[in-house]
Every structure is written in C-alpha cells, then in structure tokens.
Chains A and B, each alone.
Chain A
C-alpha cells in the first residue's frame, strides 16, 4: 500500500466505493470507515505495508510484554526508533519522514532485526515465555510443527513457501524439539528462541 504522500492510491474501485459511502452517508466518516474495514480490498492489504520504526518498536514491546509500566532502561528503548531511522518528535524536517521502502537500508534493516531478535530471544520476557509454554503443551514437536507453531504465535506471520522451507530446514538441523527432561527443556527453550529470532529476521516480518 503506497504512502499517500508519495504515490496516489492504486485501486480506483476502492476509491469509488469509499466515495459512494461518503456521499450516501451524507459525509459521515464512521460510515466510510465501516465500509472500509469490511471490504475485501482492505483485508487484502494486510502485510503490504512496511512497518515504520515506531511500529517495529511498539509492536515488539507489546508482543514480548513486560514493558507495560515505566522501568529503568526505557530511555534506551525510546532511542530505538531513531537507530532505525525515525527519531520520534524530531523528523528531518517539518515535512516529516520519507516512508515505505525508504525505512529500509543496510543499517536500519540491521537495527530493526537486531532489536526485535534481541527481545524475542529473551525467554525471561513474559510474552516470549508464553510462546514457549504454549508450544510446550503440544509435547514433542517435529521441525515443521516448531516452525508453524512459532509463526502462528508470533503473529500469525505469513511467509512465502521458500522462506518456510528455509525455516524448516534450520529446524531439521536440530531434530525433534521437546521438554521431556530438564536438559532437553533447556535446549528446547533455546531452539524456540533461535527460531523466533530467525522468523523476525525474515523479509516478510518487516511488513504489517
């Protein structure tokens, strides 16, 4: 979905539908939004939008939990969007930021992947612990089950068949994942953490 300030909307049918809703409702925005949210073109626009740094940071913190209340270290968190290219409340000019693919360069891609991976790789965070515990309830997991379980609990995150194939190939290197003993539980927790880190490093995960 293009950023409106860079590229005009692409779907004329969508524009016409919303325009009609706006007129028929005698210019009521809620009615337009009702039509928009129920439309197939809106639902099909999922995962088309490159997350802004603010979305990456806030979305990740909400996923992993534990940051609901202020605590030491928040100062560094507030700088993370800046490292990814979006210094909040301080755009490069009064015109705001260049968005969309311009969020991505070699440095910012590294910054966003490393930030999210750092969070999802930490099993002490409640959201990550919850993911691990949910997977644990399924017993011993095959590589495919580990990958699909992690994809589901992280989002669900939709990845291409090629990406899934690589994730499964990585899980196959580890074999079966289970929590039957203390030793295997430690290994399993570590494997889940690494799989989560790999998933958030995928191209697909950069979209919302």
Chain B
C-alpha cells in the first residue's frame, strides 16, 4: 500500500554492545547500588534525578528534557529468560524474536513485507550504518543501507558525464539481472538492483533538505540527520534503523559510557528539534534498546555482560513514565549475579506493532505478549 506522509514511522536506535542499566537509569536511593558499584558508581551529586527514586547518567541531560515533557517512556527490566550473554546471539534474539532457536527473519523486515508485499517501494526501510541489521532482514524485502553521507549515495560516482553515466548504470542493471536458484549470486543481484533503484530515489532527500537545526558533529547525529532528510522528503519510508556504540564497557567505563550517552542524547535532541521544525514529529516514535544490560557488581574498571536492561521509547505520541518494574538488586533476586528480566522484549514490540504500526503482532513476535501502555 502506498504510504502517506502521516503514516506512522518507527525509528530504531540500537545501542550496540550491551548498555549498562544501573548507570543509565540510576536507583540512587538503593544502597545496594553504591555497594555494588565501588569503582564505576556515579557520585550522588552528579546523578540527574528525574523522580524520587531514579536519575539519569549526568551525560543524559537532553533525554531528561524529554522526560520532563512527558514524552519519554522507560521500560524496565527488559530481556528474556536464559540470556546467553553473547553479543551476536543476544542481538539475533532481539532482531528475530526467537530466543529458543536461531531465527533468520527480522521483525522489522516482516513489518516491511506487510506494508509492501509487492516490493513497490525499495526505500520502505532505510538503515544508516555499515551493516545490514538482522532486524530488517526478510526474504524479498529490500533495505536501503546508507553507510556514508546521503549526499554521496550512488554507484560509480567517477563516471560523471551524464549520458555515459546513464548508459553504464543501465548496463549495471542488466548485469545484475536475476539468476534463478543461484543462492549468493541471486542475493547479490537483488541487492545490486535494489541499491540502484534506492539510490535514484534517495538522492532527492538531501537536495530538498533545509533546516535551521544544527546537529552535533558525531556519527550518530549524522545518521539521525540522514533519517530526518529522508523522512522529510516524503519517499514512503516507514522504518528507519541506526546504531551507536560500543556500549561494551568492560573496562574504563567512566568516562566512556558518559561520552556515548552524550553523543546519543545530543543527537536525539537535534533530531527531535528538526522533526518539530518541519512539523513531522507527530507520526514518529523512536525506540532505543540494547542487547543486554550489564552485571550488577562492577569489575573494578567497568562492567561485564549482564541480562536485563532498559528500553526507551520517545515521541510526541508517547505517554511518558515508568513501565514495568526495576529489577531488584538483592543478591537472592539476581540471576547468576545479573538483574532478572521482568519485561519480555516482545511486549515492547507487540505494543509498537499493534498500537503504532497497526499490524497484527502475533505472526511477527511468535506469540501473545503483554501490551504496555506507553502509546497514546
């Protein structure tokens, strides 16, 4: 179905590496926080308190503003049972909704297939980053992956003479014609042709973009700006994806972790301002997640892989507040020394699928999961 400008749009920002829950949403009133964080605990006078029990990492001031506006939902204790604490496996689980077996179809790839089963729009899904996130993968679903500046997105830029360029790109398209039953060659062919078509469509986005908002000079801010450019160009894109990292702070967590959150929140601040300036904020929500949290007790310099973590959803139509319960830090409540997940990540997906994207969630999440109330 062709998208309209005000169709709901989802932006997913993946915090790669395993973001530390305890130093992101800080339970400053819990003495167990201090007991367990002798090395990396955030000093009490630096915690950005946002209610009587919790505060943000000091680098997250822009996100606190969104909280104060009532447009930030914090989902607590997110994860799934028997976390393997492996980056690849955990991220695959988040991407495919398959905690028990290795899945190959991404949840957002399936969304794209529902929206555009005939592949009429190769930029329904646009990803900014250097890899193809498995969350976006589904057979027959094109994904426009932009790994550098959007302004330079396109094949063979050195062939500049217009007629020659058209001829060569036409030849490229013919060379990438489908080769049935040939596995990787067929995949290469489809990818090449979709990229060619996508490049043609996406090139108008930076050309038509004008904004007074100044984005920080960071990689995540550049990705978010690219997303804004494509969204404002009204190309029918419904799913945007990007990542930032690495949040894998085994050592030297302070100040590295703070630097990462500074980049993310300042980038988001500019992005939200840009959406509002262009009157394009109402139909966008942003999901932030990480593949797992980190261990309760620090290791003297950082923290190691854990289990439960937080997720954040923000946007004009988001009902801000706490959702789910912050897992207990008491030793007897931990699972192998880690915070015990209390909210299945698929609850977040189910809520977004049904209440925002208006799709049946069960075929995508593989079951019925409790819906959360973070969407108006």
Contact = CB atoms under 8 A, between A and B. Distances in A.
A106 B86 contact: no
Contacts of B153: 110
Interface residues of A, number: 42
Interface in B250-276: none
Contacts of A102: 131-132
A107 interface: yes
A36 interface: no
A110 B130 contact: no
A84 B158 contact: no
Contact of A109 (B86, B87, B192): B192
Given A93-B248, A121-B158, A105 B143 contact: yes
In the complex, which of the residues A87, A105, A202 has the most CB atoms of chain B within 10 Å of its own CB atom? A105
Contact of B158 (A93, A108, A118, A170): A118
Contact of A101 (B86, B168, B187): B187
Contacts of B81: none
Contacts of A84: 130, 147
B362 to A, nearest CB: 28
Contacts of A201: 155-156, 172, 175
Interface string A51-85: 00000000000000000000000000000001111
B86 A108 contact: no
Nearest to B197: A106
A108 B145 contact: yes
A139 interface: no
A106 B191 contact: yes
Label chain B's interface by main secondary structure: mixed
A70 B144 CA distance: 35
Contact of B164 (A92, A108, A111, A194): A194
A101 B191 CA distance: 11
B376 interface: no
Interface residues of B, number: 48
A198 B145 contact: no
B174 interface: yes
B127 interface: yes
Contact of B184 (A101, A162, A170, A198): A101
A113 B155 contact: yes
Contact of B175 (A83, A105, A203): A203
A108 B133 CA distance: 12
B331 interface: no
In the complex, which of the residues A84, A93, A110, A114 has the most CB atoms of chain B within 10 Å of its own CB atom? A110
B176 A203 contact: yes
A11 interface: no
A106 B194 contact: yes
B87 A92 contact: yes
Label chain A's interface by main secondary structure: helix
Nearest to B186: A203
Given A95-B86, A102-B132, A110 B175 contact: no
A169 B171 CA distance: 9
A50 B185 CA distance: 10
A102 B171 CA distance: 25
Given A95-B87, A106-B198, A170 B185 contact: no
A197 B148 contact: no
B158 A197 contact: yes
A83 B148 contact: yes
Contacts of A111: 147-148
Contacts of A45: none
Contacts of B158: 117-118, 121, 197
Interface in B167-197: 167-168, 171-172, 174-177, 179, 184-185, 187-189, 191-192, 194-195
B46 interface: no
A82 B168 contact: no
In the complex, which of the residues A82, A111, A201, A203 has the most CB atoms of chain B within 10 Å of its own CB atom? A203
A98 interface: yes
Nearest to A105: B132
B168 A198 contact: yes
Contacts of A110: 147, 153-155, 195, 199
B246 interface: yes
B157 A114 contact: yes
Contacts of B147: 83-85, 107-108, 110-111
A98 B130 CA distance: 12
A113 B144 CA distance: 16
Contacts of A95: 86-88
7 contacts: A92-B17, A92-B131, A93-B17, A107-B130, A162-B175, A198-B172, A203-B188
Given A109-B191, A166-B175, 15 more contacts: A84-B130, A84-B147, A85-B130, A102-B131, A104-B132, A105-B131, A105-B132, A106-B198, A107-B129, A109-B188, A109-B195, A110-B155, A160-B179, A170-B171, A201-B175
- Which 6 pairs of residues, A with B, have the shortest CB-CB distance? A107-B145, A93-B87, A105-B132, A107-B147, A106-B195, A105-B145
Interface of A: 50, 82-85, 87, 92-95, 98, 100-102, 104-111, 113-114, 117-118, 121, 160, 162-163, 166-167, 169-170, 173, 194, 197-198, 201-203, 206
